[in-house]
Chains A and B, each alone.
Chain A
């Protein structure tokens, strides 16, 4: 077990806590960079899909895991990003600008949702975001001059510096770069005053307000950043799918994003990444399992959403901290080897906290 000896306050918020961290993350980045050389094209494509999900997951994690605001409508922000990006590219705008515009427009939409949402809490907010996503879906279906409705739009390959990224590995590096930048931005945010204010609001809005945190402003920032990041992920997803239609961004996508942050582990950036690996890998796992399952079960169209539901139920009931929480437990077990105590992670006994006065 490594004992960290802290000699200044800055040690608490240093990004790289000790040399082990830099070694392992460096190794991870190097192996991700080398991956396209070693893997078949199919897996490179799957990895970029996971990266895209992870970007959106980081965005949602900032909102749900760090600020404690539930959103059931993040698929809508992804849709806004994807449609803005595609529409602008079809009008001749270069990819980097269109990509950024997708993020910015999603961000604006996020602020538009956040302003009324600041008056709501918990359950009302979740319902309002759900309603928002339904409205966005209808707008996409009906606004045919821009979105072409149900016909959908083909998405051209992104062009960077005059070079179209048509090959799988080229697109892979684009996604990887965006993911690394997003994660760095998110990690830096969480150790900044704004990020700490978010966590304070999550843990107790009343205490945060009493300590001088501007609740409305912080919540709006959280919403805007989260929506903006999701918009970027949506634009990338459009390029990955090469074709966007209203069906691609329905409520199932929002639920998948939710599943990612919950199963991965609420309240940690790691959780968003683990969740993305899980959600991105599950369809593959199902495809592999299909051969071994009875035909009647394997061919059911609703199998995937049903499994998603089942996994979410089990994880909420038995491992509320998600995959990352389980990993922390395993690590603690080996760190303290013969002395591990189960009660270290035992949840405090909790009672119904009411939101009502009477």
Chain B
């Protein structure tokens, strides 16, 4: 029973990692940029939701929607104004740029929302379901259900809508997509918007479990582990990578000596990088000499 309970908690945590990692992967597939500020985008999303739901007292779902829209605009502008300029420069420049964006976001969030941990009331806070002896906190369930729903939505979005198809085309071959009349630049900005929305969803789903303060963006580093384990390729693989990281972290916190909980994600990632650098669930081939 205890094990089952831990696994449910791990799955819920893993879903958040998976969602943040989804943001990385969406951007990486489309623009080959790795967005080190994804965790901080999640933090910003949660903070914006805090303003709408906590401070302004909007309905949870309405506030959620408005926050996601705000962040989508923010993500779009971020790409259009800042990141587009850097395409074609060495990848290292992108790493530095996004890391510094993360620092800037954190400072801005500290300035606007303060450094004290805060929270807002959600329909899932402190409610539990007792399913045959296993006590399931509703907030964990909401994370899992939210992730599954989002994954299904994204699947339909990429496969059955015009704009989703265009995004897939642009991320598979930019030049060919451009020749086919797809506005690649705008599509890239839209992907940034989409990934900001995903980050916001992750942030809001996380908020009942973890208090919101500017430093929750550091969770992004663990989401990296999820993305690397998943292989930076397929969306499903990324979510699975998140689950692996989340479950092993929860189990390590219970059964291994203190300290392992914090590093088990990195250990898994390093092992995967050494044994199978292309990730566990990947379909992508890397260039070889």
Q: Which residues of A have CB within 8 Å of B90?
A: 68
Shortest CB-to-CB span from B4 to chain A, Å, is 28
Closest to A206 in B: B289
Q: Are A317 and B85 in contact (CB under 8 A)?
A: yes
Q: Are B99 and A258 in contact (CB under 8 A)?
A: yes
Q: Which residues of A have CB within 8 Å of B106?
A: 302, 305-306, 309
Residues 95-116 (chain A) with a chain B CB within 8 angstroms: 116
Shortest CB-to-CB span from B11 to chain A, Å, is 23
A310 CA / B104 CA spacing, docked (Å): 6
Q: Which residues of A have CB within 8 Å of B259?
A: 138-139, 141-142
Whether A301 is near chain B, meaning CB under 8 Å from some CB there, is: yes
Chain A 137-158 interface mask (CB, 8 Å, partner B; 1/0) = 0110110000000000000000
Q: Are B172 and A358 in contact (CB under 8 A)?
A: yes
Residues 89-107 (chain B) with a chain A CB within 8 angstroms: 89-93, 95-97, 99-104, 106-107
Closest to A113 in B: B270
Candidates A128, A297, A309; contact of B101 at CB < 8 Å: A309
A297 CA / B110 CA spacing, docked (Å): 10
Closest to B271 in A: A116
Whether A124 is near chain B, meaning CB under 8 Å from some CB there, is: yes
Chain B 187-216 interface mask (CB, 8 Å, partner A; 1/0) = 000000000000000000000000000100
Whether A180 is near chain B, meaning CB under 8 Å from some CB there, is: no
Shortest CB-to-CB span from A330 to chain B, Å, is 23
A356 CA / B273 CA spacing, docked (Å): 17
A310 CA / B96 CA spacing, docked (Å): 11
Q: Are A309 and B266 in contact (CB under 8 A)?
A: no
Chain B interface, >50% SS class:
helix
Shortest CB-to-CB span from A268 to chain B, Å, is 16
Q: Are B91 and A123 in contact (CB under 8 A)?
A: yes
A297 CA / B102 CA spacing, docked (Å): 19
Shortest CB-to-CB span from A327 to chain B, Å, is 20
Q: Number of B interface residues at 8 Å Cβ cutoff, please give it.
A: 53
Q: Number of A interface residues at 8 Å Cβ cutoff, please give it.
A: 57
Shortest CB-to-CB span from A96 to chain B, Å, is 33
A308 CA / B90 CA spacing, docked (Å): 21
**A-binding segment of B49-57, B161-169, B235-243, B279-287:** B279-287
Residues 323-358 (chain A) with a chain B CB within 8 angstroms: 349-358
Q: How many A-B contacts if CB must be within 8 Å?
A: 156
Check A351/B88 contact, CB under 8 A, given A142-B259, A306-B106. Answer: yes
Q: Are A123 and B95 in contact (CB under 8 A)?
A: yes
Q: Which of B87, B91, B267, B284 has the most CB of A within 10 A?
A: B91
Shortest CB-to-CB span from B189 to chain A, Å, is 15
A166 CA / B85 CA spacing, docked (Å): 50
Chain A 62-75 interface mask (CB, 8 Å, partner B; 1/0) = 00100010101000
Q: Are B273 and A300 in contact (CB under 8 A)?
A: no
Whether B224 is near chain A, meaning CB under 8 Å from some CB there, is: yes
Q: Are B97 and A317 in contact (CB under 8 A)?
A: yes
Q: Are B266 and A124 in contact (CB under 8 A)?
A: no
A303 CA / B258 CA spacing, docked (Å): 33
Whether B3 is near chain A, meaning CB under 8 Å from some CB there, is: no
A72 CA / B98 CA spacing, docked (Å): 13
A306 CA / B258 CA spacing, docked (Å): 32
Whether B174 is near chain A, meaning CB under 8 Å from some CB there, is: yes
Q: Are B287 and A313 in contact (CB under 8 A)?
A: no
Q: Are B86 and A356 in contact (CB under 8 A)?
A: no
A351 CA / B90 CA spacing, docked (Å): 10
A305 CA / B92 CA spacing, docked (Å): 20
Q: Are A308 and B103 in contact (CB under 8 A)?
A: yes
A119 CA / B288 CA spacing, docked (Å): 11
Closest to A263 in B: B96
Shortest CB-to-CB span from B82 to chain A, Å, is 7
A232 CA / B220 CA spacing, docked (Å): 31
Q: Which of B107, B270, B277 has the most CB of A within 10 A?
A: B107
Whether B263 is near chain A, meaning CB under 8 Å from some CB there, is: yes
Whether B225 is near chain A, meaning CB under 8 Å from some CB there, is: yes
A352 CA / B102 CA spacing, docked (Å): 23
Q: Are B104 and A300 in contact (CB under 8 A)?
A: no
Shortest CB-to-CB span from A68 to chain B, Å, is 7
Closest to A202 in B: B90
Q: Please provide the 3 A-B residue pairs with the shortest distance between their CB atoms, ordered closest to farther.
A: A306-B107, A309-B103, A131-B266
Beyond A126-B95, A258-B96, 8 additional contacts (C-beta under 8 Å) are A123-B95, A305-B107, A307-B107, A309-B106, A317-B86, A320-B93, A351-B88, A355-B286
25 CB < 8 A contacts A-B: A70-B92, A122-B91, A122-B92, A123-B34, A124-B273, A127-B34, A130-B224, A131-B269, A141-B259, A142-B259, A255-B99, A258-B99, A300-B110, A301-B110, A302-B107, A305-B107, A309-B99, A312-B99, A316-B96, A316-B100, A320-B93, A349-B88, A352-B31, A354-B32, A356-B284
